[in-house]
Structure 1
Amino acid sequence: MKRAALLLTLASLGACSVGPDFQKPQPALPAHWGPATRSAAVDRQWWQQLGDAQLTALVERAAEANLDVRTAANRLEQSRIARQVSGSQQLPGVSLGGSYQRERNSAVGLLDASNRSGKSSFDLWSSAVDASWEVDLWGHVHRSLEVADAEVDLSRAQRDGVLLSISAETAADYLKLRGVQAQIAVARQNLDIARHSQQLTQTRFENGVTTNLDTANSAALVATIEARLPMLQAEQARFINALSFLLGAAPGALNDELHEPKPIPNPAPDVPLGLPSELAQRRPDIQQSEAALHRATAAIGVAKADFYPRVSLGASFGFQAIDGSDLGAWNSRQWNYGPSLYLPIFQGGRLTGTLQLREHQQQEAALNYQKVVLGAWHEVDNALTDYSAEQQHHAALSEAVRQNELALTTARERYRGGAIDFINVLGVQRSLLETQSALVDSSTQAALDRVLLYRALGGGWPQ
C-alpha cells in the first residue's frame, strides 16, 4: 500500500509546468482606420469578386496542382505526424520481447546461472513484457507537446501563406495576360486607322494635293505600330507559360485555353473593402510569427524543466528458463517494478547556456512578431492608397481617351477637306494611341490593386 501510495503521489505531481505561459498577442489596429473600416468583412474567396469565371477556375486549379502548395501541405502533414510522435510521451511505453541464446559460462567466472560450472553449454529462453512511463513532474513533456503544437500552427500558417501567395500570383498573371491582349487589340485598332490614313495620304499625293512628307510620316506610323505587335505577342506567351507553371503544367499547356482574348475583369468599385477587426487573425504571416513566438516561449519551459529531477516508472513481467519446455511455467516467472530517478548535478554550463539561448530566441521571436505586424499595417495602408489613387487615375484617362477619339475624328475630316496638314492628324493619332495604351494599363493596374488589397487584407482559403 505504501508503494502504491508513493506511485500515485508521483503521478499526481505531473500537473506542474515550469516556464512562462504563452499569452496570445492582441495588436491594435492603427488609430486612423475608423470604426466603419474595422468592422467591414472581407470575402475569403475574393477572386470571385473579379467576376471572371475563368480566373476563378484557374485559382482553384492552382490551389490543387501548384507544386509549392503541395509541398507546404506535405510539410503541414509532417508537422502533424511529428506532433503525434511527441504525444506518445504522455502514455506508457509497452514492449514485448523474447530471446533464445545458446551459451556456455566460464568455469572460473563470478556467476554461472546454469549450475554447470562452465563444463557444458546450455540453452537460455526468455520472454517479457516491459512497461515504462515518465512522470511529468515539471512539465517537460507538456512543454515539449506545446512546442509541437506550435510547430503545427506554424506549418498551417505557412501553408495558408503559400495558398494566398499562389492565388494572388495566379490572379495577377491572368490580369496581366488580359491586359497584354487588350494592348494587342489597341495596337491592331490603331494599325487599321494608320493604314487607312496611309491610303488617304497616298491618294492625295498621287493627285498632287500633298507631298511625299505626308506619305513618309503615315508609313512610319504604320511601321511603328506594327513593331509593337511581336513584342506584345511574346509577352502574351510568357504570361500563359507563367500560368502554366503555377498550375504545375508544361509550357504551352494552356495556349488553347487562354489564347482567345477576353476583357480585363472590371470589379465594381463599390464592393466593401474595409479592414476586418480580426485582420491579425487572417494574415498568414502574422499567424506564422505568432506561432513562432509560441514555440519559442514553450521551449523556455522545456529548458527550465531540464534543471529538475526526472522520474520514470518501470515494470517488467516475463519468464526465463534453461529448458524451453519450462518457459511459461509459473515457477519460471520473473518480474520487477519501481521508479528510477535522474538528477542533473553538473553539466558544465550546458543547461544554463541552453536556457539563456531559449530566452534570447523568445525575445527575437517577439521582436519579429512586432516587425511583421507593423509591416502588415503599412502594406494594407499602402494598398488602400494605391487602390484609391488608381481609381482616380483611370477616370481621368477614360476622359482623355474620349477627347482624343473626338479630336482624331475631327482632324481626319479637316485633313480630308484640306484645312490642316497631315502632321496634325499624326500628332492626334499618336496621342490617342498613347492614352488608349495608358487606359489599358490603368484598367489592368486597377484590377491588380484590388488583388493586392485583398492579399494585404489576408483574404484567402478558409482554414
Structure 2
Amino acid sequence: MRLHVWIVLASLSLGACNVGPDFIRPQSGLSESWQLPENSDVRSEAIPAAVDPRWWDSFGDPRLSSLIERAANENLDVRSAFSRLEQSRAARGVIAAGQSPDLSAGAGYSRARNSQQGLNDPSGNAGRAAYNLWQGGLSAAWEFDLWGRVRREVEAADAGVQVAQQAQRDVLLAVLADTARNYIQLRATQNALDITRQSLAIARRSHLLNQMRLDEGVATQLEVAESAAQVAAIEARLPPLQQREAQLINALSLLLAQPPQSLKQDLASAAAPAMPMGPARVPVGLPSELAERRPDVRRAEAALHAATAEIGVAEGDFYPRITLSGDAGFQALQLGGLGWDARRFALGPSLSLPLFDGGRLRGNLQLQEARQQEAAIAYRKTVLLAWHEVDDAFVAYQAQQRRQASLEVAVEQSRAALESAEQQYAQGAVDFLNVLSVQNVLLTNQAERIDSAAAASLALVDLYRALGGGWQMAEAH
C-alpha cells in the first residue's frame, strides 16, 4: 500500500502542469535589409554576406591580430565575467537540487536524565536515574512539485545562466574592440609623430638656410626669428604626441593584464608604422541576424525569459505544498540492543497551504509581473539601439573615407605648394612668411589625413562590434 502511494504521488509530480505563463520568444522587429546610404563615391561597400568572425584579420596587421588573441585569453575583465558565469551555473545546480529528494544518514549517542515531574521517561526510570540512548538511521524528504513551482525556479535559473553567458560574451566583444581601437589610435599617434619629425627637419633646414642668408646679408633678422619660432612651434607638438603614445601602450598593456610599459619594446616604432586599414567590401549580414549574434540582445532576451519564469514561481506560492518525508532506523538504550527489534520508522505526507499573509504573495506576484514588463521594454530598446549602432557606424565609416580621399589630394597639393614656395623664396620672389604659411597648411593637412584614416578604421571597428562579430572565434579558442 505504501509503495502505491509513492507511485501515485510521483506520477502526479511528474505529470503536473506548470503555473505561470510560458515564455514566448519575442519578435525582434528588425527589417529584412539594411537601409544604408549610397556608397558610389567611397571605397567601401556593404554586402549581405555573413559577418567575419575574425574581423581583425581584415585589417591586414599581424601585430593587431596577435594582440587581440592575447587579450581574449589574458584580459582580467574577461576572466571575471567567466567567473560570474561559473557562479551562475553553480547557483543553477543548487536550485535544480530542489527537484530531487533529500536523503541523509545520522547516528548519535546521548546520556540523559528526565525530570521526575515532567513527561514520561522513555527509559522507564521515572526520572530517578540517567540513561543512555543509542540511535541511527536514514531520513528522506521530497516535495512533490505538483504545480511546477520548482520547475519554474529551474527555468529561471537556466535563463540566468544564459544572462551570465551573454554578459561574458559582451565583455569579450568589448575587450576585442577596445584592443583594436587602442592599437589603431597608437599607430595614428606614431604616424603623427613621424610627420611632425619630418616637418621639424624641414623647419630646421629652413632656419639654417635663413641663418646662412642672414650672414650673407640676403635675409633679415625678422625672417630668422620667424623660422626659429616655426622650429619651436613644431617641437612643441612632440611632447603631447609622445605622451599619447605612452598612454596608449599602457592602455594595451592593461587590456593584456601586463604592467605599464611592458609592451613598449614591441609597439614603439622609430619609423612610421603602417596604419591598419579596413577592407573595401564589408560583410554586414542581415538585420534579423543581430538578434542571434549580438550578446547584449541575447542577454536581454534571456533576462525576459527569467522574468517570465519568476511569475510562475510567484504564482506557485499560492498553491499547497505537499512533502513526503520518512525516517527509518534503530534506537536502543544499550549499544548491544541495536538489533532488529530496535527498529523504528515514520512515513507520511505533509501539506501546507497559505491562508493569510497580509497581501505578501499578491504583492510579490505583481512585482514579478512588473519586472517582466520592464524586461520586455529593455529587450525592445536593446534591439533598437543595436540597429542604430550599425547604421551610425557605417555612416561614419563612409564619411571618414570620403574625408580621407579629399585630404589625400590636399596633402599632395600642399606638398607641391611647399616645394614651389621654397624655390621662390630661394630666388627671392617671395618672403619667408609665405613658406611658413604653406608649411603650416601641409602639416595641418597631414595631421588631418592621419586623423581621418584612424577615424575610418575606428568606425569600422565600431561597425564590427555593432554587428556582434568576434566573440565566436575568440571563445572557440
The question of a shared fold, defined as TM-score above 0.5 by the shorter chain, is answered with yes
Give unmatched runs, 5+ long, in structure 2: 37-44
> Residue type of the partner of 2:187?
R
Q: Which residue of 2 aligns with 1:267?
A: 278
Displacement after TM superposition at 1:396 (Å)? 0.7
Q: Secondary structure at the match of 2:376?
A: helix
Letter aligned with residue 291 of structure 1? A
Letter in 1 for 2:408: S
Equivalent of 1:123 in 111, 132, 142: 132
Q: Distance in 2 between matches of 1:286 and 1:258?
A: 35
* TM-score, normalisation: structure 2: 0.93
Equivalent-residue separation in structure 2 for 1:171 and 1:138 (angstroms): 51
Query: Which amino acid in the other structure matches residue 21 of structure 2?
Result: P
Task: Tell me what 2:20 maps to.
Answer: 19
Give the aligned residue type for 1:191.
L
Unaligned runs of 5+ in 1: none
SS at match of 2:283: coil
CA distance in structure 2 between the partners assigned to 1:412 and 1:274 by the alignment? 52
Shift of 1:190: 0.6
Aligned counterparts of 1:60 and 1:102: Cα–Cα separation in 2: 67
Q: 1:273 to 1:403 in 2, by over 3 A?
A: farther
Q: Which amino acid aligns with 1:413?
A: Q
Whole-Å separation in 1 of the counterparts to 2:212 and 2:337: 120
State the distance in 2 between where 1:68 and 1:401 align: 42
2:250 counterpart residue number = 241
Q: Is the 8 A contact 2:46 2:282 kept in 1?
A: no
Deviation of the 1:94 alpha carbon: 0.7
2:318 equivalent in structure 1: 307
| Rounded Cα–Cα distance in structure 2 between residues aligned with 1:115 and 1:273 | 86
Q: Give the residue type in structure 2 aligned to 1:49.
A: S
Structure 1 residues 378 and 394: CA distance shift in structure 2, 3 A = same
Match of 2:443 among 433, 437, 440: 433
Alignment pair present for 1:202 and 2:203? no
1:201 Cα deviation from its structure 2 partner = 2.1
Q: What's the counterpart of residue 352 of structure 1? A: 362
Whether the 8 Å contact between 1:42 and 1:275 is mirrored in structure 2 is no
User: Which residue is 2:83 aligned to?
Assistant: 74
With over 3 angstroms needed to count, the CA separation of the structure-2 counterparts of 1:37 and 1:449, relative to structure 1, is closer
The structure-2 alpha-carbon separation of the partners of 1:252 and 1:425, relative to structure 1 and needing over 3 Å to count, comes to: same
Aligned to 1:146: 155
Q: Note the C-alpha offset of 1:381.
A: 1.0
SS in 2 for 1:278: helix
Aligned equivalent of 2:40: none
Secondary structure at 2:465 match in 1:
helix
| Secondary structure of the structure 1 residue equivalent to 2:261 | coil
Residue in 2 that maps onto 1:169: 178
2:307 corresponds to 1:296: yes
Q: Is 1:394 the equivalent of 2:404?
A: yes
CA distance in 2, matches of 1:348, 1:273: 55
Given that 1:158 and 1:284 are in contact with CA atoms closer than 8 Å, whether structure 2 keeps it comes out as yes
Question: Pairwise mapping of residues 10-409 of structure 1 onto structure 2 (< 5 A)?
Answer: 10-14=9-13, 15-30=16-31, 33=34, 39-260=48-269, 262-275=273-286, 277-327=288-338, 329-409=339-419
Q: Which moved more, 1:302-311 or 1:372-381?
A: 372-381
CA distance, structure 2, for counterparts of residue 189 and residue 123 of structure 1: 98
Aligned residue type for 1:457: L
What secondary structure is seen at the aligned counterpart in 1 of 2:288? coil
Shifted more, 419-428 versus 329-338: the winner is 419-428
Identical columns (%): 51
State the TM-score, normalizing by the size of structure 1: 0.96
Runs of 4+ in 1 over 6 A off after TM superposition: 35-38
Equivalences, count? 461
Aligned-residue offset at 1:274: 4.2
Q: Could you tell me how far 1:39 is from its partner in structure 2?
A: 4.1
Q: Which residue of 1 aligns with 2:39?
A: none
Say if 2:47 and 2:283, in contact at 8 Å, map to a contact too: no
C-alpha separation between the residues in 2 aligned to 1:334 and 1:285? 57
AA matched with 1:60:
E
**CA drift at 1:158:** 0.9
CA distance in 1, matches of 2:292, 2:285: 15
| Counterpart-to-counterpart distance in 2, 1:33 and 1:64 | 34
1:131-189 deviation digits (Å, cap 9, x = unpaired): 11111111111000011111101111111111111111111111111111111000001
> 1:63 Cα shift?
1.9
| SS of structure 2 residue aligned to 1:277 | helix
Q: CA RMSD in A?
A: 1.8
Distance 2:357 2:312 in 1: 18
Deviation at 1:456, TM superposition (A): 0.7
